[in-house]
Structure 1
Amino acid sequence: MSENVMVRTASRAAPAPAARRPQGDGSRPRLPSWMSWRAWLPTVVAFGVTATIWQLVATANPFVIPTLEEIWASLAGAPEMYWTNFQVTLNEVAIGATSGIAAGFLLAVVMSEFRIIERVVMPLVVVVMVTPIVAIAPALVVAFGFGMLPKYIVTGLVVFFPMLVNSLAGLRDVDVKALDVFRTLHASRWETFRHLRFPGSMPYVFAGLRIALPMAVVGAAVAEFVAAGQQAGLGSLVTTSAAQANLPVTWASIFLLCAMGILLVCLLALVRKRVLWWSAADVVAR
C-alpha cells in the first residue's frame, strides 16, 4: 500500500515531459550573425545617408561632382569600356599583389629564423618603403620598359612592407611554453615552423592581408597614374577623363576602384573564416 502511495506521489512530483514542438509552427534555424538584419542595418543606413548627401551636393554644385544618375548613366552607356579597364586593373592587382605578398611573407620567414638577415635587410627595406612610390615609378619605366612590368612592381612594393611586418610579428609571437615542448621533443626547425610558428602566425598574416589588399588597388591605380606606357586600366581612365573634365566617367571609374577593393576585402573575410575557424573572435561572431 505504501509503495503505491510513493509511486503516485513521485509521478505527481516529476515534471511532465516537454511537449514536442510541431514541425509546422514556423520555427526557423538560427542564422549566422552576419546574416542578421542588425548586422547590415548600420551599413545600409550609412550608405543611404552618404548617397543623400552626395545627391544634394551634386545638385547644388554640378561642376564639382556629378549626380548618381549621371554616374549610373555613364556606366550603363559604356559597359564594355569599363569592364575592359576593370580587367586590366584587376590583373595588375592580382599579379602585383600576389608577388608582393609572397615576397613579404617569405622574407619574414627567413628573418624569423636568422636574426642576422633581419639586421642586414631591414634597413634597406625601410629605405625603399619611405621613398615616394611616385618617384620610383618613372625610374622603373626607364629600367623595365613601357609594358606592364613596372605596374606590377609598383603594386607589389605597396603591399610588400605591411605583409612583411605583420608576418614577422606573427612568426615571432610564439607561445614560449609550446616552444619549450618542441625543443624538449628535439623537433627540427622545419617541424617547429610547420606545426607551431606557421599556424600561430595566421591571425597576423590575415591582418596584413586586410591592409595589403586595399592598398594593392591603390598601388595599381597610382602605377597607372605615374608609370608611362600602356594607357589602360581604371587609373588611366580616371586621369584621361579628368583631363577632359568628364566628371561622370571620372567618378564612375573611382567607384569601380572602390568596388574592387570592397570585393577583395569581402573575399578575404570569407577565406579567413574558413582558415581561422578556431579563432576566438570568429567563434564569438557565430
Structure 2
Amino acid sequence: MAEQEVIMPLPAARRRTRRPSLGFLHPRMWLPLVLMLVLLGFLWQWGAHKLPYLLPPLEDIGTTLKEDSEYYLDSAWATLKEALGGLGLGLVCAFVLAIVVSEFPLARRAIMPVAVILNVTPLVAIAPALVVAFGFGMLPKLIVTGLICFFPILINTSMGLRTVPQPVLQVYRTVNASRLETLWYIRIPSAMPYLFAALRIVFPLSIVGAVVAELSAAGSSKGLGTAISLASSMNRLAAVWASIAILAVLGSLLLLAVTLLERRVLHWHETRQGSGR
C-alpha cells in the first residue's frame, strides 16, 4: 500500500499571497488627474476665446513648442543648470550653518537674525548689484537662486538637529560619546525628515529663483526667464505661455525627483513605513 502524503494546512498568514501592487496603473491613481487636466483644458480654451489678449489657444502654444523645440530645450537646460547649481550652493551653506547654530547657542544668536534679514530682503533688488560685482556670467544667478533656497533649508535642518529625544542623548552621554559622534549618529539622521521637508519646497522653488535671476540680472542670453522677457517685448503671447508650461514641467519633475529620493533615503523612518502599508 502506497504511503499517503499528509498535507498540513498552512497558517493563514502563509496562505495569503501578496498581490502585485498596481501603483499608478490603477485608475483611481491617474483618473482624477486626467479628469482635472481635461477640465482645465476646456476652461483654458473658453478663457482663450473670451480673453484672447491674456490666454492664447492651446494649439498655438503647441505649435510654438513644436516649431522652436530646439530653442526651448536649450533655454530649459540653461535654467535647469542655474536652478540645480544655486540649489546645491544654498544646500551646502545652509546645512553647514544649521550644524553650527544647533551646536553653538552663541552662533545661533548671531547668525539667525542675519538669515532672517536676508530672507525678507527682495532679491530682485540684489541681483543688479551682484551683476556689477561678479559680471554677466552664471555666478550672480547661482547666488540669487542659492539665497532663495537658503532660508527654508536652514530653518528646517536646524530644527531637526535640535529635536532629538533627551533619553537618546542621555544614553550617548553615559557611554561617553563625543559631540561629533552624537552629531553623526543621532542628530543628522534625526534631521533628515526635516531636511527633506525643506527640499520638497526648495527643489521647485529653485526654478523660480533661476527665472527671477534671469529676469532681473542684466546680460542674460539664455534661459526660460530670458525667453519670457524677449517674447513679452515682442508681444508673442503663445511663446510666453510655452516657456511657462516648460517651467511648470521642470518644477514638477524636480518635485517628483526629491520625493523618490526621500523614499529611498528615509525607508527606515516611521513615516515611510506607515505610508507603505
TM exceeds 0.5? yes
Match for residue 80 of structure 1 among 59, 70, 73:
70
The within-5 A match list for 1:21-40 is 29-31=19-21, 33-40=23-30
Are 1:131 and 2:95 counterparts? no
Map of 2:42 onto structure 1 = 52
The within-5 A match list for 1:100-139 is 100-139=90-129
Letter in 2 for 1:89: T
- After TM superposition, where is structure 1 displaced by more than 6 Å over at least 4 residues in a row? none
Give the Cα separation in 2 of the matches to 1:48 and 1:36.
Answer: 19
Are 1:63 and 2:26 counterparts? no
Map of 1:252 onto structure 2 = 242
Give the Cα separation in 1 of the matches to 2:25 and 2:167.
Answer: 39
Q: How many residues get paired?
A: 264
Letter in 2 for 1:135: A
SS in 2 for 1:187: coil
Aligned-residue offset at 1:32:
5.7
List runs of 5+ in structure 1 lacking aligned partners.
Answer: 1-15, 19-26
The within-5 A match list for 1:183-222 is 183-222=173-212
Are 1:268 and 2:258 counterparts? yes
Give the Cα separation in 1 of the matches to 2:58 and 2:273.
Answer: 39
Give the Cα separation in 1 of the matches to 2:197 and 2:143.
Answer: 22
Give the Cα separation in 1 of the matches to 2:101 and 2:255.
Answer: 28
Give the Cα separation in 2 of the matches to 1:17 and 1:111.
Answer: 61
- Gap change, CA 1:179 and 1:29, over 3 Å in 2: same
Q: What percent of counterpart residues are identical?
A: 44
Aligned-residue offset at 1:17:
4.4
Q: Is the 8 A contact 1:33 1:285 kept in 2?
A: no
Aligned-residue offset at 1:274:
0.6
Tell me which structure has the larger Cα radius of gyration: 1
TM-score (structure 1 length as normaliser): 0.88
Give the Cα separation in 1 of the matches to 2:160 and 2:38.
Answer: 38
TM-score (structure 2 length as normaliser): 0.91
